[in-house]
Amino acid sequence: IGEKQYVPAQQMQGGQYVVDPELADYVSKVGNRVAAFTNIDLPYEFVVLNSSVPNAWALPGGKVAINRGLLVELRNEAELAAVLGHEVVHAAARHGAKQMERGMLLQGALTATAIGLAGTGYGNSVMQSAQVAAGLVNTKYGRDAERESDYYGTRMLAQAGYDPYAAVTLQETFLKLSEGREQSWVDGLFSSHPPSAERVQKNRALVETLRSEGYVGGEYGSDRYQAAVRVIRRDKEAYAKADRARSAARDGDLEEALTLVEQALDAQNEEPTFHALRGDIRFEQERYGDAIVNFDRAIERDDGFYAHYLGRGMSYVAEGDRARAKSDLNASVELLPTTIAYLELGKIAEAEGNTDLAGRYYQAAGQSDGVVGQEARARYSRLYSQG
């Protein structure tokens, strides 16, 4: 399940961060250094996701992700190792799998999906088949699971050669932020990993125990960490402008959105989602040819994110280019199935006279309770009433 849901989960949370591939390599190296000290042999994987929301999560089977938005807030490699070690324990101890066994997996999944996709414009169109990924990513762990992950994660931190006190400073920071209730943190890490004073105290006591066992002189790796995150730190304001541009676009202020995204592009032209966001704005302005150019640029920089293909496919639909639209829409659903893509594929199949295929697409899109689902069900009914 973890293997199957890893890609959809990444797609729902912004896709992989691709501007600085060395960052992903660095995070993977740190994660594997800590994971080497668990006695559960899993095929651990670590990815950096392109989301400003500060979050990290693990799927069953050792699939771990950390968002760009959390990396810019950490202070050193030891804190990164503490976060990744904590997630490794969640995977190794089967905390997410146990939630599944209790039938708690899909609680809040629809809301979680909408939050994860808020930056793409397609937050309400994810197929039910992908909802399990949303539930896994946003599993809210109980106190026992968090204590267990703190305990073993901190012990692994020390065994890997880091100063275990980094787990204390990390939790202290999280506790202060939770008391201030910064919304981005509430939407992210704190929704599934609620911090508490009790956890800080237990981490302090554990560090004292580890010191008595001889775990002293561990490293923090501050210089290595600052070098590794230099690009995302430098580009932080550009991503903030892009986030504001998305908000302005959702509010209908397309000119303000365009101004902000162009400022983001001036700062970092290699970020594919900035080009795609410009394409979304041009699409809303009914400048479909320009939108296609922008989505082309996004795909040139990242050909592994569903929203780039979906945006270009919808632009081709508006241009009346069925062949290219069909190709892009199919590419998008291979990465993440959405009702809007299936609805448009159904319309294309119907226009081409392929009634059976159109019916299957409409039936799939009709799973949604929203406007897209209503249209798909109406088209499906009309298709077969005419037959």
pLDDT one-digit tens code per residue, 261-277: 999 999 999 999 999 99
Average pLDDT over residues 8-21: 94
Q: How confident is the model at residue 140 (pLDDT cuts 50, 70, 90)?
A: low
Q: Which residues pair with 162 in a beta bridge?
A: 219
| Tokens of residue 35, six digits | 């994971």
If one compares 58 and 286, the residue with the highest pLDDT of the two is 286
What six digits make up the tokens of 265? 């592009």
Give the pair of three-digit tokens for residue 383.
């298709």
Sign of the CA dihedral with 154 first, then 157, 161, and 162 last: negative
Q: Quick one: average pLDDT of 8-30?
A: 95
pLDDT at 118: 40
What's the Cα-to-Cα distance from 373 to each of 128, 260, 342, 364, rounded to whole Å? 12, 33, 10, 9
pLDDT at 317: 98
**For the ranges 10-14, 116-120, 188-192, which has the lowest average pLDDT?**
116-120
% pLDDT > 70, the chain: 82
Among residues 71, 81, 33, 36, the alpha carbon closest in space to that of 228 is found at 71
Residues 105-119 pLDDT 10s: 444 333 333 333 444
Asked whether residue 378 carries a pLDDT value surpassing 80, the answer given is yes
What are the φ/ψ torsions at residue 18 (nearest 5 degrees)?
A: -120, -10
- The region, left, alpha or beta by phi > 0 then psi within -120 to 50, assigned to residue 94 is left
Radius of gyration, alpha carbons of the chain = 22
Contact 160, 33 (CB under 8 A): yes
63-67 and 56-59 strand pairing: antiparallel
Residue-level pLDDT at 237: 97
Q: Round the average pLDDT of the chain to a whole number and report it.
A: 87
Query: What pLDDT sits at residue 199?
Result: 82
Alpha carbon separation from 341 to 180, 293, 332 (Å, rounded): 40, 20, 8
* Dist. CA 365–CA 345, nearest whole Å: 10
In the chain, what is the straight-line distance between the N-terminal and C-terminal CA atoms, in Å? 40
Q: Which residue has the higher pLDDT, 254 or 57?
A: 254
Look up the pTM and report it.
0.87
β-sheet with 63-67: strand ranges across: 45-49, 63-67, 56-59
The pLDDT value given to residue 110: 37
